Structure 1
């Protein structure tokens, strides 16, 4: 990479673009892990409840996705609320920060689980079920990091949340 085309005439440029590269990636990974935690809790609960109740794949996945969004948002709302904003405002911040990343994560995650033959049918006592879920979350993580990195780079997504930490 050549540095010749950088803005030598603008000393403030470096300061404003300090949140690039490694920092941006670290923030994206942190935001994605945050989202993954909420998604994983909801996903596991949903799949466990749906499977335990003998629901269809569609109903089970729908429950898992609903709970994943719920816990994903809840984990973002908690620290934002503690900074003193109203619940409504915290909710709006969480929606803005997490909707895209949770959506990407859930699509990838559930598509993978449904794509593995017999994974949904394997049941909760089966290693295939849990291995598939773990792999699905790992793959979803890899897909979601660039989404969050792009959002944060544009001052969106979890960049919004960081104002309240």
Structure 2
């Protein structure tokens, strides 16, 4: 059985899902309401970071901002569960969520850029070119968020790149197969001016996160990824520094 026939069978099997989602994701009123909810969630995030979680590294503050921007209340709930210094204890699930969020922030930026530029502004008609280009940008953005911080810590480019390839490739691959596949299933014929173009893109990002989470949890469990530092320890360090300063 050829790859093309397999894809057609998958598309046929998921046709009812597409029929259900297209009217919702193409409704301007729903998209407008979603945008308001996302802005409110970003406001809650930044208020919490400013008031209670200044100890978080600037990179993770940016990561959580992008996660909430992409997924609204879903992203805010993930931050509340796993990313705040007030969490009661750390766990594999929390480390998996933080690791997925880190991957998601970069890959999501690559996916948005890819679809907006290739399928939107350049209006490429080739699904293969749009898919390949978006995949490439997702890998570039995803790897950059790992390589950049490592190089800032003094790690050489080659070593940092090998580390990124080893630790990030599985989760990026699964995330983008799910996200790009979802977008193409729902809105492959939509133009950048169509509400469906943006609705499907937003929805596909969260689908990618859901599929990538178990992969990241497994990688963290086996020590392939560290799962980002426990934010509760950062909060304790800040409190200790404040106590010493007041002595």
TM class, shorter-length: 0.7 to 0.9
Superposed displacement of residue 160, structure 1: 8.2
Gaps (5+ residues) in structure 1? 1-20
Determine if contact 1:73/1:94 at 8 Å carries over to the other structure: yes
Say if 1:58 and 1:48 are closer, same or farther in 2 by CA, change over 3 A. Answer: same
Match of 2:8 in 1: none
Say if 1:32 and 1:160 are closer, same or farther in 2 by CA, change over 3 A. Answer: closer
1:103 aligns with 2:173: yes
Q: Counterparts of 1:1-165 in structure 2 under 5 Å?
A: 22-51=90-119, 52-55=121-124, 56-116=126-186, 119-156=187-224, 158-159=225-226
Shift >4 Å, 4+ stretches: none
Structure-2-length-normalised TM-score: 0.53
Structure-1-length-normalised TM-score: 0.78
Paired residue secondary structure (1:159): coil
Determine if contact 2:103/2:142 at 8 Å carries over to the other structure: yes
Superposed displacement of residue 23, structure 1: 1.9
Gaps (5+ residues) in structure 2? 1-88, 230-247
CA distance in 1, matches of 2:182, 2:168: 21
Superposed displacement of residue 121, structure 1: 2.1
Bigger fraction of residues in helix: 2
Residues matched between the structures, number: 139
Superposed displacement of residue 44, structure 1: 1.0
Paired residue secondary structure (2:189): coil
